[in-house]
Amino acid sequence: MRKVYIILSILILTVGTLNAQSSNDILISSGFDLIKTDYSRFGDKLQFGAEANYFVVRHFAAGAGLELWTRNASSFAMGMRYYPLDNFFVRFRGLIGANDVALGGGWSKPITEKWRFEAIGDFYFGQTEFGIRAGVGYVIKK
């Protein structure tokens, strides 16, 4: 129990010092699925995504993008991200074309002031599949 208090204390103390997005910033990001539950072997079926997110307020962004598959039709994605902490987010997206909805969570680690590394896990409700994605993002400051 003591370890939990120490970890929470460190997180609370470091939240104010992290490089976070601000209102009116735009995050352009892209990535590809490293693992997905319907993959039989690596490279057999690939999924790539690119999106732009506009930060309405510091912890909430609305976004749109494209999802490209090597085996299925491409999809237009619309969704939102909520950042309860500066580096962690929860996202919800609708995939138009695949007729699916995805709920996920991710981690965004600043590399520089404008570049981010992102790792995301998504659950696709229509396909009942789970995927883990890695990518990069670039922040356009207001």
Rounded to whole angstroms, the Cα distance separating 50 from 32 reads 9
Instruction: Report yes or no on 135 lying in a domain.
Output: yes
Give CA–CA dist 15/24, Å, rounded: 20
Mean pLDDT of 43-65: 91
Residue 42 lies in a domain: yes
5, part of any domain: no
Using a pLDDT cut of 90, give the percent of the chain over it.
61
**Residue-number span of the structural domain to which 41 is assigned:** 20-140
The verdict on residue 4 lying in a domain is no
Res 37: pLDDT: 84
On the question of pLDDT at 6 being above 80, the answer is no
DSSP string, 25-43: -EEEEEEEEEEETT-SSTT
Position 12 in a domain: no
Domain count for the chain: 1
The model's pTM: 0.79
CATH number at residue 66: 2.40.160.20
Q: Is the pLDDT of residue 133 over 70?
A: yes
